[in-house]
Copies of this chain bind each other. A is one copy, B any other.
């Protein structure tokens, strides 16, 4: 089969590509072709035995989606998006990339299907940002969408489009609402939730990090490794099990900042914890105050999706996958 990954140069995208190349199959079908796309040219996986291709393309530019879809990939991962902070700061760019880019992709698939039968599986990464205040302590899969950011609005709209294009038979879609991914490797990005990663990643490497909210803040987490697992599971899933509700909240870990810090202490000691500098930021405190704290992900769990159940597991995934199993002294 031919697999297309859009957003392949992003953090989750790169890890997904590595997993696809290493496994060489999805849902029992061998992967013969792997096409990787992003606004910057993605890196080809070194270990992939099949035919690989990397493309630098902006999904929201004219003709871009059509030329990708003309190759008739059987499975499409659509991860490309600009993050919440940037979508809030640049209204036009957020709508262009996160909404128009997705819609152009769906339209390209629909129009390709007019030339001859074509209905690819499409895995779309949505976000828990589709939910906003007022929120229950535990958010069920049928809670209504009340996004409080433009990013969340764009993701909620794409979920609606995914369901309608699937219902009409143009594509076979599944949307997965990712928890906040921690620990994000590399440099901080513009996501407003970045500090949840920073306060672990930086001290684990001996660097300082700023905590802009109180330690009692509770939020919903999964590791990059779990995120890749969600994507692989979504790709292999029989979507008939989803009915008309094509998007679902992924499992995750509900934990406080204090619990994050205690996990850090267990892995790297008091010295690491002292590298966290508390600098309350009223704007971030207000924003985070409206974020989800906990989910009932029983629907996803029943469908085989799995996440970490403790912050130690999340820190361990980072140490193993990013630090070669070793915490610098």
Contact = CB atoms under 8 A, between A and B. Distances in A.
Contacts of A110: 91
Contact of A145 (B144, B161, B167): B144
Contacts of A245: 146
Interface string A137-176: 0000011111110100100110011011001100000000
Interface string A230-248: 0000000000000011000
Contacts of A157: 157, 160-161
Given A244-B133, A245-B146, A160 B156 contact: yes
Contacts of A156: 160
Contacts of A133: 244
Contacts of A244: 132-133, 146, 148
Interface residues of A, number: 23
A160 B148 contact: no
Interface in A112-142: 132-133, 142
A164 B147 contact: yes
A132 B161 CA distance: 15
A147 B133 CA distance: 22
A53 B322 CA distance: 66
A173 to B, nearest CB: 13
25 contacts: A132-B244, A133-B244, A142-B143, A142-B144, A143-B144, A144-B144, A144-B145, A145-B145, A145-B160, A146-B163, A146-B244, A146-B245, A147-B160, A147-B163, A147-B164, A148-B167, A148-B244, A150-B164, A153-B161, A153-B163, A153-B164, A156-B160, A157-B157, A157-B161, A160-B160
Contacts of A143: 142, 144
Contacts of A144: 142-145
Contacts of A132: 244
Contacts of A148: 167, 244
Given A91-B168, A153-B164, A160-B160, 5 more contacts: A147-B160, A148-B244, A150-B164, A153-B160, A157-B161
A148 B156 CA distance: 16
Of A156, A164, A245, most B-chain CB atoms within 10 Å: A164
